[in-house]
Amino acid sequence: MLLDPGQVRCPICADEFPWPNDPTISLYDEKASRYELIDVSAGDQGQGQPPFEGLCLRQSTGRDLTVFWAIVGYRVVSSPRLDLVSWSPPLEYFVPAGSIGSPASSPAAFAVGALCWQSRSLEPYSSQGPTVDGRVKPDIVGHDSVSGSTYGGFSSCPSAFAGTSASSPEVAGAAALVKQAYPKYTADQIKTYLMTAARDLGDPGVDSVYGAGELQMPKPPDLVAPTVTALAGTGRKGHMAKLLSRVSDDSGEVGLLEEVKLHGKVVARFKQVWFSSAARGRTVGVAWKVPPTASGTYQHCVRAVDRAGNKTPPSCARIQVK
């Protein structure tokens, strides 16, 4: 690891040692002929304290240093997991697997990794699972290196607004849209919705590199009911009469459920007929064979339903039969 003059580095050594394991961490300057100790953290974890060591140093020698970490365990009585986190410059040797940390590793967290939006490749700084206790993390990956007024325009990955600082709010925005579409959804249901809709990447299924995969939103659900208005008309006994309605919908097709009533009693019912709809409305009609003995005022009542199952209340109009 190369430290430039003036750089501040705050490396942390954390592990899962159960007491009485007691680690120490040392930073050495790698010389041609010998190793020179720069600093050491050797807190005593012998009384049940968490097995944590850390150093925060400023490089003030005026020259570049090639340094290395040395970790020593005292009273080690098991085979513990050891996590070493070092801020830039990156370590020469590192293992991405298991690099995810708190709070993203929490079972209660919806952990988001980072993909380059242009290439859809995983960013090198995107932490990977599994967690210490073997759970799969992250849960999903969003996009980063996006242009913005604060961090400027994209040039290559990483650039502009980069990191999970960018991909996480993208996923949060998607979650807000799901909540808007399904107000009764719980946090777990929103999480499941987004993970189910994600584009699978890497190994088939959920994995500890991409989670459920790349964030993508399915086609928005149709939550808008159509509109329908029954139109008044006339008919002649023994002849065909046209029952007219004005119908509209934001998309798709509309089915009409129609009845003819006399004094509130249904005298004719029509099988549901589907019409292609228009957002601005269109007039449609079905034929009714007026009984030879019919006369007076009838009611034409109609309800509309779209392919998503959104229904309208009934609309009725008079049909005068002569």
Helix (H) or strand (E) holding 175, with range, is helix 164-181
The tally of CA atoms less than 13 A away on the side-chain side of residue 132 is 14
Residue 235 CB neighbour total at 10 angstroms: 23
Three-state secondary-structure class, residue 186? coil
Across the chain, which has 322 residues, the per-10-residue mean pLDDT values are 47 43 80 80 70 81 84 75 73 86 92 96 94 94 95 94 96 96 94 96 95 92 89 95 92 89 94 80 92 94 92 96 93
Predicted local distance difference test score (pLDDT) of residue 6: 46
Strands (E), 18-111: 22-30, 35-41, 52-54, 57-58, 65-74, 82-85
Tokens of 232: 């008044």
**pLDDT of 170:** 97
Instruction: Quote the pLDDT of residue 127.
Output: 93
Q: Name all domains of the chain by residue range, CATH numbers in brackets.
A: 1-94 (2.60.120), 97-221 (3.40.50.200), 227-321 (2.60.40.10)
Indicate the average pLDDT of the chain.
86
What's the DSSP call for residue 196? H
Determine the pLDDT at residue 294. 92
Distance CA 133, CA 215 (A): 26
pLDDT at 312 (0 to 100): 95
How are beta strands 65-74 and 22-30 bridged, if at all?
antiparallel
CB 114 within 8 Å of CB 96: no
d(CA 209, CA 219): 26
Q: Is 152 helix (H, G, I), strand (E, B) or coil?
A: strand
Neighbours of 204 (CB within 10 A): 7
User: What pTM was estimated for this model as a whole?
Assistant: 0.62
Report whether 13 contacts 84 (CB < 8 A): yes
CB-count burial class (<10 Å; 0-12, 13-18, 19+) for 69: middle
